[in-house]
Chain A
């Protein structure tokens, strides 16, 4: 575990949105392989962290991907270095078909893993010509995930609350897809659903009010009722 190298590292990253100081001196490292969780209550800055890594919001500080500094690069160049993004609202292109949505993942220099994606999400192959706007929430989530996973050049996937608003069936599908995806890519997962998070992740980073307040093993966090209550708002700890 400790011999996995660091894939993504943030050092003293600040993000201001308007006058609000959303992220304050955030520092953490994500190791290669597996799923790392980014947890915290509502509004602490988890989504902003992902957006900051991508450059969708202006940020200060150092962000490195596989040792390369990306904090001064524009979004599309950051992404080309190998980041797949699954935003909180899915952001599929409603007017485009499923297959057109997927094709947008194409980039010069890397191949598309359609076999993997269609294996994980067979429904997408059936609905390839369907307009994404007419899909259900769960199906759109599959498109969004597939799109990020599709490009073999993506070393790390930033995934924001993929199970939000989904039925238990789709939640299970997504969890399964994430587990399979972790076999070929590193994942930084923002998740509010703690039971899902606990099943999938090992290492976690916890944010509170724009700062990193805990970084370590999820079992240790959940096993400490005081920490769990304070940072995750859990009434009782040790849940599974």
Chain B
């Protein structure tokens, strides 16, 4: 029972991280139809920016450091994303393949630059003492860090949900995911929504990047890639443009990976791809959100 609880919470923790990366990606894909391959780079940049800033704080295991790390991560991710949209994506407005390609170049350049500056070895992330301790749930010792991560994901989901449902730009984004042309035909400048969605995505990815570091206790230049690809699976399964779909898919993917990997390493990752294949065979549009 305690093993079950531990696996479940770890899986939910993974799912929480996937959701942070996938939510923004899903909105970007749903609204702009751009496959932002640099999304994994947003994650990595945020994590390293946070780590660099933390080095300047004397007490790295204090709560202040933690808060600073998260804020820096969110800001770095958001800023990087906004610049990417304005400088690289916008000029290529009518060339969708070009937009994807330019994010390829950005991804390669960013990851290798980080590798060049910081080296390939992992940087250790020190957490506040309270987070390294565990809480007993159903007989298992659950690391508190995992619980906090899950809490962050829930808060993120609620924020996004209310943003989409209750604000004007949220309304515009929801409409744009369905039919971009019609939104323009109502006199609304969709371009602003694009920038907004990229920024939100970058901020969420930034949060995900920092918390990934907290989850695994370390950061390296390449983890962003693996997270990004898992996020892609989550987005395809959950439906492009649907954050509820992403949330559900993230939980499923995280739990599945964790439980199956427990029995044999690597089986979980494999099984998730098989699940993706099954979903595509049965329902090519994914489960939530707008169809292409």
Closest chain B residue to A82 by CB distance?
A: B187
CB-nearest residue of chain B to A107:
B187
Taking the nearest CB of chain A, how far is it from the CB of B152, in angstroms? Answer: 27
Given B171, B189, B190, which contacts A103 in the complex, CB threshold below 8 Å? B171
Whether the pair A95, B182 counts as a contact (CB closer than 8 A) is no
Which stretch, B108-116, B172-180, B246-254, touches the partner chain A?
B172-180
- Given A95-B290, A104-B171, A104-B172, the answer on whether A87 and B185 have CB atoms closer than 8 Å is yes
Contact with A along B87-104 (1 / 0, CB 8 A): 000000000000000000
CA distance A147 to B186 in the complex (A): 9
A76 touches B171 (CB 8 A): no
Is the Cβ of B187 less than 8 Å from the Cβ of A93?
A: no
- A56 in contact with B181 given A95-B174, A100-B171, A103-B171 (CB within 8 Å): yes
Interface pair B182/A76, CB less than 8 Å apart:
no
B277 close to chain A: CB less than 8 A? no
* Chain B residues numbered 154-199 whose CB sits less than 8 Å from any CB in chain A: 168, 171-172, 174-175, 178-179, 181-190
Give every chain B residue within 8 A of A79 (Cβ-Cβ).
184-187
B81 to chain A, nearest CB (A): 23
- List, in ascending order, chain A residues with CB within 8 A of B183's CB: 104
CB of A75 closer than 8 Å to a CB of B = yes
Interface centre among B179, B186, B189 (most CB of A within 10 A): B186
* Bound Cα distance from A100 to B168, whole angstroms: 10
A85-103, CB < 8 A from B: 85, 87, 91, 93-96, 100, 103
Q: Does A105 contact B (CB under 8 A)?
A: yes
CB-nearest residue of chain B relative to A83?
B187
Secondary structure dominating the interface of B: helix
- Residue contact B178 to A76, C-beta cutoff 8 Å: no
Query: A175–B187 Cα gap in the complex (Å)?
Result: 26
Question: Bound complex: CA of A74 vs CA of B181, how far in Å?
Answer: 11
Check if A87 sits within 8 Å of B186, measured CB to CB: no
Contacts of B172 in A (CB 8 A): 104
Residue A145, interface by CB 8 Å? no
A80 at the interface (CB under 8 A from B): yes
Question: Which DSSP category, helix, strand, loop or mixed, fits chain A's interface?
Answer: loop
Beta-carbon contacts under 8 Å, A45-77 to B: 54, 56, 74-76
Interface size counted on chain A using CB atoms at 8 A: 22
**Chain A residue contacts of B184, Cβ below 8 A:** 56, 74-76, 79
Query: Which positions 127-176 of chain B face chain A at CB distance < 8 Å?
Result: 168, 171-172, 174-175
Most buried by B among A75, A87, A107: A75
Closest chain B CB from A169 CB (angstroms): 26
Q: Which residues of A contact B189 (CB under 8 A)?
A: 76
Residue of A at shortest CB range from B188? Answer: A76
State A76–B171 Cα separation when bound (angstroms). Answer: 17
Which single residue of chain B is at the shortest CB-CB distance from A90? B182
Which residue of the partner chain A has the closest CB to B171?
A100
Do residues A76 and B190 form an inter-chain contact, with CB atoms below 8 A? Answer: yes
Q: Which partner residue on chain B sits nearest A74 by CB separation?
A: B184
Smallest CB gap from A151: residue in B:
B187
In the complex, residue of chain A having the shortest beta-carbon distance to the beta carbon of B176 = A93
A107 to B168, CA, bound (A): 11
Structural contact, B190 and A93, CB atoms closer than 8 A:
no
A105 to B185, CA, bound (A): 10
**Which residues of B lie under 8 Å from residue A106 when comparing CB positions?**
168
Please determine whether B290 and A76 come into contact, CB atoms closer than 8 angstroms: no
Closest residue of chain A to B185 (Cβ to Cβ) is: A85
- B254 CB, min distance to chain A CBs, angstroms: 26
Q: Which of B182-233 contact A (CB under 8 A)?
A: 182-190
Instruction: Flag if A96 contacts B187 (CB, 8 Å).
Output: no
Nearest A residue to B177, CB-CB: A95
Cα–Cα distance between A197 and B190 once the two chains are bound (Å): 35
**Nearest-CB distance from B291 to chain A (Å)?**
10
A23-39 Cβ-contact flags toward B at 8 Å (1 or 0): 00000000000000000
A87 touches B178 (CB 8 A): no
Question: Within the complex, which residue of B168, B179, B188 is in contact with A93, where a contact is CB–CB below 8 Å?
Answer: B179
Given A91-B179, A93-B179, A95-B290, the answer on whether A105 and B174 have CB atoms closer than 8 Å is no
CB of B22 to closest CB in A, whole Å: 19
Q: Is A105 a contact of B290 with CB atoms below 8 Å?
A: no
Please give, as numbers and ranges, the residues of chain A lying within 8 Å of B190 by CB-CB distance. Answer: 76
CB-CB nearest 10 A-B residue pairs? A79-B187, A75-B184, A91-B182, A80-B187, A93-B175, A85-B185, A76-B184, A76-B189, A93-B178, A107-B187
Known: A56-B181, A79-B187. 4 other contacts (CB 8 A): A79-B184, A79-B185, A79-B186, A104-B183
Residues in B lying within 8 Å of A, measured CB to CB: 168, 171-172, 174-175, 178-179, 181-190, 290
9 sample A-B contacts, Cβ–Cβ < 8 Å, listed by A number: A76-B188, A76-B189, A93-B175, A93-B179, A95-B174, A100-B175, A104-B183, A105-B186, A107-B188
